């Protein structure tokens, strides 16, 4: 059941960011993909991402989670499927090149500036991600964000991916704040929707000017850049 919609003026104490698609550009693999498979790079990047997310849902809802696999494994499985679907000959060498690129995804340029500004205000900051701990550790360090995050929370500890409520519950557990006191920031509309249902003060960062999900609930806040986080009502 959806929790009562939070008051958008509630004073916030913490900010949790989705990682993949929000802090790290999942489509930045397209440049390497285009070099390896000319004319198919963008298509591969999109299909790979879609299949990766589809697999997280499949292993979460099927057989009580008995088929859970770490996000890294699902990312590799999604790459293999996408290449087969597009008729691309994925050699072992190319697979490792693309997976290594995914491990070091490009970070959006405003990330550090925003996180530093939040820390200067005394706001608790963190990541709440489907990524497994080793993936997140490399991504955070590669982007130079390890000094501006109080928490890096992986769903791997509960073996359930977002949008499972148990995944979103990791945020209040880690920070000690109620969900209504936490801004949850995501560029993924499905993630922003489920986090709103859970009870977070959500900010959907609509980088690509897309429509929101048509399921009767809107995010608490909407923006077009991570900088819009700084306009939220903090304590």
How much is the pLDDT for 65?
81
Least confident interval from 1-15, 24-38, 42-56, 111-125 = 1-15
- Checking if the pLDDT of 6 tops 70, the result is no
pLDDT at 5: 61
Helices 133-142 and 71-85: crossing angle, nearest 10°?
A: 80
Q: Which residue has the tokens 């959006």?
A: 108
Question: Contact 47/86 with Cβ under 8 angstroms?
Answer: yes
Give the per-residue pLDDT at 66: 87
* pLDDT for 3 beyond 70: no
Least confident of 1-5, 21-25, 195-199: 1-5
Mind telling me the catalytic residues?
18
pLDDT of 30 over the 90 cut: no
The share of the chain scoring above pLDDT 90, in percent, equals: 83
Residue 57 binned pLDDT confidence (cut-offs 50, 70, 90) = very high
Every domain of the chain and the residues it spans: 14-24+106-231, 26-103
pLDDT in tens, 84-116: 999 999 999 999 999 999 998 888 989 999 999
Token pair of 104 as six digits: 């070091």
Lowest mean pLDDT among 48-52, 102-106, 216-220: 102-106
Say which CATH architecture domain 14-24+106-231 belongs to: 3-Layer(aba) Sandwich (3.40)
Q: Do domains 14-24+106-231 and 26-103 have the same CATH topology?
A: no
For the segment(s) 26-103, the CATH number from 1.10.3720.10, 2.40.50.110, 1.10.1740.10, 1.10.150.240 is 1.10.150.240
Tell me what the pLDDT averaged over the chain comes to: 93
Other Cβ atoms closer than 10 A to 7: 11
Predicted local confidence at residue 146, as pLDDT: 85
DSSP assignment of 4-38 equals PPPPTTSPB-EEEE--BTTTB-GGGGHHHHHHHST
State the DSSP code for 234: B
In angstroms, the CA 115 to CA 200 distance is: 19
The end-to-end CA distance of the chain, in Å, is 29
Lowest-confidence range among 1-10, 70-79, 95-104? 1-10
pLDDT digit string (tens) for 164-175? 999 999 999 999
Q: Which helix (H) or strand (E) holds 100?
A: helix 92-103
Please determine, for residue 24, whether its predicted confidence score (pLDDT) is greater than 80: yes
| Alpha-carbon distances, residue 214 vs 6, 157, 217, 218 (angstroms) | 20, 31, 8, 9
Mean pLDDT of 142-153: 91
**Secondary structure of residue 115 in the 3-state scheme:** helix
> Using the 8-state DSSP alphabet, how is residue 148 labeled?
S
Mean of pLDDT values over 26-50:
92
For residue 107, list its beta bridge partners: 24
* Cα–Cα distance measured from residue 180 to residue 134, given in angstroms and rounded to the nearest whole number: 29
Please give the Cα distance from 140 to 177 (Å, whole number): 23
**Which residues share a beta bridge with 20?**
24
Q: Would you say residue 63 has pLDDT above 60?
A: yes
The tens digit of pLDDT for each residue in 152-194 reads 999 999 999 999 999 999 999 999 999 999 999 999 999 999 9
């Amino acid at each position: 059941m959806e929790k009562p919609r939070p008051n958008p003026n509630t004073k916030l104490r913490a900010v949790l960011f989705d990682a993949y698609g929000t802090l790290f550009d999942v489509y930045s693999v397209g440049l390497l993909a285009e070099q390896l498979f000319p004319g198919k790079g963008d298509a591969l990047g999109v299909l790979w991402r879609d299949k990766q997310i589809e697999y997280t849902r499949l292993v979460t809802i099927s057989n009580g989670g008995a088929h859970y696999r770490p996000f890294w494994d699902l990312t590799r499985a999604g790459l293999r499927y996408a290449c087969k679907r597009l008729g691309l000959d994925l050699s072992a060498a190319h697979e490792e090149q693309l997976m290594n690129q995914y491990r070091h995804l490009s970070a959006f340029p405003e990330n550090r500036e925003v996180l530093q500004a939040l820390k200067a205000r005394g706001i608790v900051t963190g990541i709440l991600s489907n990524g497994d701990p080793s993936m997140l550790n490399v991504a955070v360090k590669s982007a130079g964000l390890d000094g501006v995050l109080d928490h890096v929370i992986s769903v791997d500890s509960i073996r359930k991916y977002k949008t499972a409520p148990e995944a979103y519950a990791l945020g209040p557990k880690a920070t000690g704040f109620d969900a209504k006191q936490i801004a949850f920031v995501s560029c993924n509309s499905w993630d922003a929707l489920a986090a709103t249902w859970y009870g977070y003060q959500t900010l959907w960062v609509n980088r690509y000017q897309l429509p929101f999900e048509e399921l009767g609930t809107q995010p608490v806040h909407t923006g077009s850049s991570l900088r819009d986080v700084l306009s939220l009502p903090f304590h």
